Amino acid sequence: METFITPAEAHAIIHAQIRTLPTVKATLLAALGRFLQEDIIAQEDVPPFDNSAMDGFALCVADLSAAPVTLKITGEIAAGDTPAMSLTQGSCVRIMTGAPVPDNTAAVVPVEWTRMETDSDVRVTRMPAAGQFVRAAGRDLRRGATVLEKGVRLTPPALGLLATAGHRSVRVSAVPRVTIVVTGDELFMESGSLPPGKIRDANGPALAAQVQYAGGSLVAVHHARDDKAEVADRLDQALHESDVILFSGGVSVGNFDYVNEVFDAAGVKRHFWRVKQRPGGPLSFGMCGAQAVFGLPGNPVSSFVCFEQYVRPAMQRLMAAQWTGPELHRAVLREALAKTKGLHHFIRGIACRDVAGQLEVRTTGPQASNLYSSAAAANCLIHLPQELEHPFAGQEVDIEWLPWAVPY
């Protein structure tokens, strides 16, 4: 097991240990946000037939050149119709947007370019060019063409595209199932007034939300008291139901911190414990077969930061997402900060663009790892690397947007 490693080393270990989950067929809506695991081929032409782009009149080639001209209306085609009509010189067919055009249609003239002379005679005042306002079959997608390639993330319009190409379900990687176990005798899990010495559980609800936000499937949030047998029992249960198991609390060196000991006894192969970072130093990570097991430090900010830095990438890897490290952006730091040399600091920040368009960042205030309000106010994490000693106002630093922040 590695210990006192850097965040980059921790990422590398997690990346090396975790394998993508098997693929499954998912309905389109269930596939939202997931990564496509097959190339998708168009089953049919889109649009499937030549159709009108306007409400207007379909004309044949013989009438194209002369405008103004008066034409006899010989029929009407609505969207959804299957007309067996043919156009002849001097006649036209009234047609609606999306309706199939007659076979020998040369163009569609929009209603706005015409004037009715009688109920069945229309005056064309402006002539469309050949082919104008006719949407050709296969213009969007040709049958047999690749619609989307393996690996893309499925967005709402991507799902719409799949549907138009004739697909109702697609192959994506399975969603990781995640169990959370919050540990601590001090945690009061019920509602109602707090008994003396107890605190409310922050990490259970926050981690559950982070799991959901990262695209995982939350199996359960359990509580274990600081009791070895109880912690072991929760781990055993979690190993039966999940791909990722998150413990919060009990991974440090206190007298009642049993989590790592229980991991080892249960056969979890621990790959690291302790990362040269603040917050979240006592982070622990191991594998039990293909299942990933994290011991997140109990302080709410540590738990939150460790999830975003390590658990989210692990879940992405399980879901076959490309992940090449945190996505960093340069920003001007607007205040001097205290920093411990040798540790990578993750500071909760608020970043925005100044009048010149330059990204600038401030902290959310005091940064102790028990001050949860510092996390709730943040839109980014400021990365202060290990070697940095005295971050000063005006210097450039790296920031990473939090997933729920809309980047400026």
Binding site for Mg ion (CB under 5 A): 184, 249-250, 298
Q: How many angstroms separate the CA atoms of 241 and 18, rounded? A: 17
Instruction: List the beta bridge partners of residue 270.
Output: 286
- Closest separation between CB of residue 370 and ligand AMP, Å? 6
Chain Cα centroid distance, residue 173: 14
**Site size toward ligand AMP, by CB under 6 A:** 18
Binding partner selected for residue 187 from Mg ion, ligand AMP, none, CB under the kind-specific 5 to 8 Å limit: ligand AMP
Q: Is 277 in the site for ligand AMP (CB under 6 A)?
A: no
Which one, 70 or 212, has the nearer CB to ligand AMP?
212
Which one, 187 or 333, has the nearer CB to Mg ion?
187
- Closest separation between CB of residue 277 and Mg ion, Å? 19
Mark the segment that binds ligand AMP (CB under 6 A) among 61-69, 146-154, 202-210, 389-397. 202-210
Q: Copy the structure tokens of residue 285.
A: 């990570």
* DSSP H helix total and E strand total for the chain: 8, 27
Q: How many angstroms separate the CA atoms of 27 and 380, rounded? A: 34
Q: Copy the structure tokens of residue 395.
A: 């210097």
Which one, 133 or 307, has the nearer CB to Mg ion?
307
Number of residues that this document lists for the chain:
408
Which one, 91 or 303, has the nearer CB to Mg ion?
303
- Closest separation between CB of residue 252 and ligand AMP, Å? 5
- Whose tokens are 């319009």? That residue is 157
Q: Is 280 in the site for ligand AMP (CB under 6 A)?
A: no
- Closest separation between CB of residue 228 and Mg ion, Å? 13
Q: How many angstroms separate the CA atoms of 177 and 219, rounded? A: 6
Which one, 144 or 254, has the nearer CB to ligand AMP?
254
Tell me the pairing of strands 277-278 and 344-353.
parallel
Kindly report the backbone phi and psi dihedral angles of residue 376, in degrees, each rounded to the nearest multiple of 5, phi listed first. Answer: -65, -30
Q: Is 393 in the site for ligand AMP (CB under 6 A)?
A: no
Kindly report the backbone phi and psi dihedral angles of residue 86, in degrees, each rounded to the nearest multiple of 5, phi listed first. Answer: -135, 145
If DSSP codes are grouped into helix, strand and coil, which group holds residue 299? coil
- Closest separation between CB of residue 201 and ligand AMP, Å? 4
For the window 167-196, what string marks contact with ligand AMP as x by the rule CB under 6 A? Answer: ---------------x-x-xx---------
Interface residue with ligand AMP among 172, 202, 211, 305 (CB under 6 A) is 202
Which residue's CB comes closest to Mg ion? 249
Q: How many CA atoms lie within 13 A of 70 on its CB side?
A: 6
Which one, 58 or 187, has the nearer CB to Mg ion?
187
Single out the residue of 191, 192, 211, 194 nearest to residue 203, CA to CA: 211
Per the CB < 8 A criterion, the answer to whether 337 and 391 are in contact is: yes
- Closest separation between CB of residue 21 and Mg ion, Å? 31
For the window 228-267, what string marks contact with ligand AMP as x by the rule CB under 6 A? Answer: --------------------xxx-x-x-------------
Which one, 259 or 375, has the nearer CB to Mg ion?
259
Single out the residue of 1, 13, 9 nearest to residue 264, CA to CA: 1
Other CB atoms within a 10 A radius of the CB of residue 66 amount to: 9
- Closest separation between CB of residue 346 and Mg ion, Å? 21
- Closest separation between CB of residue 201 and Mg ion, Å? 12
Site for ligand AMP in 286-345 (CB under 6 A): 297-300
Residues 162-176 as b or e (16 or more Cβ within 10 Å = b): beebbbeebbbbbbb
Burial class of 391 by CB neighbour count within 10 A (0 to 12, 13 to 18, 19+): middle
Which one, 297 or 313, has the nearer CB to ligand AMP?
297
Interface residue with ligand AMP among 152, 199, 377, 393 (CB under 6 A) is 199
Binding site for ligand AMP (CB under 6 A): 182, 184, 186-187, 199, 201-204, 248-250, 252, 254, 297-300
